Amino acid sequence: MHPGWRDACLKVLLRGKNVQLTLLGDPCLVRPWQSSRGFHATATSRAPKVKAPAMEDFPSDLIRNFSIIAHIDHGKSTLADRLLELTGTIQKLRKGEQQMLDKLKVERERGITVKAQTASMFHNYMSKRYMLNLIDTPGHVDFSWEVARSLAACQGALLLVDASQGVQAQTLSVFHVAKERGLVIVPILNKGSKIDLPAADPELMAAQMHSTFGVDTSEILQISAKTGKGVESVLEAIIDRIPAPRSAMAEGDKRLKAFLFDSSYDRYRGVISLLSVQSGVMQRGDKIQSIATSKRYEVTDLGIMHPEEVPTTSLREGQVGWMVCSMKDSGEAHVGDTLHRVGETIEPMPGLKATKAMVYAGIFPVDSNDFVKLEESIKRLTLTDRSVTVSRESSSALGQGCRLGFLGTLHMDVFRQRLEDEYDANVIITAPTVPYKVIYKDREVYVSNPTNFPDVTNPTSQVKEVQEPVVNASIIVPEQFFGDMMDLLYNHRAEDMDFRYINVSAKDSRLILTAVMPLSEIVTDFFDKLKSRSSGFASFDYEDAGYKASNLAKIVFLVHNKPVDALALIVHRSAEQAVARTWVKKLQKVIPRQLFEVPIQAAVGKKIIARETLSAIRSDVTAGIYGGHYERKLKHIENQKESKKRMKRFGSVDLPQEAFFDILRS
């Protein structure tokens, strides 16, 4: 037997033919294995067993709070793994093992980071022991809120650029966010992290970083996150270049001030808050108060992420950790809130800029009886993702549901998958739409649900103008794909198109395209077309640019002359014919056939712009008639025709929710 299992406690649960083996003990010494007889033993973590560190040994001058920022798939999580290994926080990961900080199932399946994770490391340098707090951030534009709130708890950031791909659109966007917050930037060039891409050219990419970000090429660290080469220099740069948190206690201010930047929910302990202590000391039993809600709590437990939860006796200024108090309602944990000790008066932190939902969609349970369970699941999940907005809505076809606002379509799809993975929810999501501004003669109304969009073709609607949200889009692409990108932008109603070169060389000439685009054109299949036309080399980023007047219309789909509100769409008038024809053909395939003909129509106002007919189920009523005059059979056929006419007048088509699931999934 492995010596690490010496103190393990084995508990065997016999349930019919299934035998489950649960190991309780030191998880780092348990090796994952599975036999053909159904015994399972899985390591929950590769973190070595540690006892709680003495937090008073780490004053603010021995603390470094930093984040890793980069474009998606440039090696952020891989670099985080190497840092955790070098500092002895985790054991060296074997080949094929997943990234340590990508804990969600959706992250491991998709190979992307969607949730910022925190890990505290301890490193000896120049005869001193430092506490390094890492906050790993996502790289996709749809998770910019995760990046923004993570940077709010940091004093520096590692700017990672892949040497095979160079500066990408999201890299540029996140760099400006970090600079606006005053963070110290440590530029890093990641070589050899993607073996399936063309050979890296570090000199060219270093020059590109110099021209784009204005960094000195001598300050750029060249590493390989995959092999670990040069990562030691990153640890040194974190300590030497990134400043320590400001010490308020050194200035005589010992009042407790903590910044809440993330939260999660545990069914047994309630709300778990991640916070950055700005000043003072937080201990178990302290009575604290929220500035946002003015509610009071008692600290029952606290600690650091190492990278799993490790309880400590206190959290001191400059340190980042987790805290559990008597907070049971998930709505009480406000990201960006400032916590202080009861009886003390402090100035609140600036907080975080409120997020603005860019894409809306309705979520309904497949079984209408599961609405209460679904609503509670959404409430729990939004505690870990405060960028999602939630409101109730009802549909005549789908029943009770929720209207959710997301930062993008990938954000929406990841949220749906997390609902299914973590809460076993079975849901239907309506087609994504963007918030429109409808200007009446006496007021302005924002409409995110197509059902509430007015009929602009009706002269009595009193609608003066309809505006749609637009964005400033940026595309970084090699020069050879310039023509394809311009054509793609033109086909998606882009305006004010412009371009400039970010580097020119014989090996690689790259340029950045900028344009003003309607947001509704991006939330469909724009990103897929972008990658297809550029062979995967183009990168895309966008930011809000307000609203602009547009010629829009609402398409209503009628099944057997009755409108289906859950399928309503808002489209530009130039695309209404193509969209309507595509959707009526989809409906024709998924709606079950009836005993009578069912017309499927798409209408704008009172005008039908597309139609398909679902043919009736036909049965041979003369099959059992033998002999006699032909008029005998003709009489039965005529009776059938009359019956079908009556059915068509009085019959109704009940659309099963499986049909909605099929059409909205596609």
Query: Count of CB atoms within 10 A of residue 449's CB?
Result: 19
Measure the CA–CA gap between 101 and 83, rounded to whole angstroms. 12
Cα distances (Å, whole numbers) of residue 407 to 133, 388, 432? 27, 8, 11
**If DSSP states are collapsed to H, E and C, what string results for 333-388?**
CCCCCEEEECCCCCCCCCCCCCCCCCEEEEEEECCHHHHHHHHHHHHHHHHHCCCC
Q: Is 193 marked as binding a ligand?
A: no
To the question of whether residue 87 is assigned a binding role by annotation, the answer is no
- Is the dihedral angle over the CA atoms 341, 346, 352, 353 positive or is it negative? positive
- Contact call for residues 37 and 19 (beta carbons, < 8 A): yes
77 annotated ligand binder: yes
Q: Was 88 annotated as part of a binding site? A: no
What span, in angstroms and rounded, lies between the C-alpha atoms of 115 and 121? 19
DSSP run (H or E) holding 12: strand 9-15
> Which two tokens mark 123?
């490193």
Is residue 447 classed as helix, strand or coil in its secondary structure?
strand
Residues present in the chain in total: 666
Q: Tokens standing for 40? A: 């399972």
74 annotated as belonging to a binding site for a ligand: yes
Distances (CA, A) of 65 to 61, 104, 239: 11, 23, 10
Using CA atoms, how far apart are residues 100 and 78, in angstroms rounded to an integer?
A: 9
Is 337 annotated as ligand-binding? Answer: no
Give me 174's structure tokens.
Answer: 């996140």
Judge whether 70 is annotated as a binding position.
yes
Q: Is the dihedral of CA 651, 654, 659, 660 positive or negative?
A: positive
Q: Confirm or deny that 544 is annotated as ligand binding.
A: no
| Cα 430 to Cα 74, 311, 402, 426, distances in angstroms | 33, 43, 11, 14
Count the Cβ atoms, other than its own, within 10 Å of residue 19. 13
Give the Cα separation of 182 and 168 in Å (integer): 22
Q: Which of 433, 443, 468 minimizes the C-alpha distance to 544?
A: 468
The residue behind tokens 């054991």 is 91
| DSSP state letter for 546 | E
Q: Which two tokens stand for residue 645?
A: 């006419």
C-alpha distance from residue 295 to each of 54, 281, 289, 463, 595 (Å): 30, 20, 6, 45, 62
72 is in an annotated binding site: yes
Instruction: Residue 527: name the closest of 483, 488, 479, 568 by CA.
Output: 488
**Helix boundaries (H) for 98-199:** 105-110, 144-151, 169-180
Question: In 10 A of CB 622, how many CB atoms?
Answer: 15
Tell whether 60 is in a known binding site.
no
Q: Which of 521, 556, 553, 526 is nearest to 434 (CA)?
A: 521
CA dihedral 50, 55, 57, 61 (to 10 degrees): 120
Report yes or no: 553 and 571 within 8 Å, Cβ to Cβ: yes
553 within 8 A of 450, measured Cβ to Cβ: no
Is the Cα dihedral 135, 141, 142, 145 positive or negative? Answer: positive
Q: In the structure encoding, which two tokens stand for residue 546, read together?
A: 């307000």
Structure-token pair, residue 207: 């020059």
Query: Is 73 annotated to bind ligand?
Result: yes
Is 625 labelled a binding residue? no
Q: Any binding-site annotation on 368?
A: no
Residues in the annotated binding site: 70-77, 136-140
Residues in the annotated binding site for GTP: 70-77, 136-140
